[in-house]
């Protein structure tokens, strides 16, 4: 099973972003995302940002994951 998890973009440099996921900062490849901006949430899968996520939905999903 594969899992994509929401992360908040902290900074972007070239095709790489620093993304915060549940308190941990990770690097994500942004080459699949156009017009991404700091502060937005994206789904991260296998090190790639694959889709934009609404802030409310991202926070709801992260809260559910933390409950597990």
Closest CA to 61 of 46, 47, 44, 37: 44
4 touches 44 (CB < 8 A): yes
Give the model confidence (pLDDT) of 22-56 as tens digits: 999 999 999 999 999 999 999 999 999 999 999 99
Residue span of the structural domain in which 25 resides: 5-67
Query: Residue 2 has what pLDDT?
Result: 76
* Count of structural domains within the chain: 1
Residue 1 predicted with pLDDT over 70:
no
Query: Residue 18 has what pLDDT?
Result: 98
Query: Residue 28 has what pLDDT?
Result: 97
Query: Residue 3 has what pLDDT?
Result: 85
Q: Which residue has the higher pLDDT, 46 or 1?
A: 46
């Amino acid at each position: 099973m594969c899992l994509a998890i929401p992360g908040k973009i902290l900074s972007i440099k070239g095709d790489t972003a620093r993304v915060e996921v549940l308190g941990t900062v990770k690097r994500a490849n942004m080459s699949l995302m156009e017009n991404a901006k700091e502060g937005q949430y994206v789904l991260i899968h296998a090190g790639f940002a694959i889709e934009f996520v609404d802030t409310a939905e991202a926070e709801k999903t992260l809260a559910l994951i933390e409950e597990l």
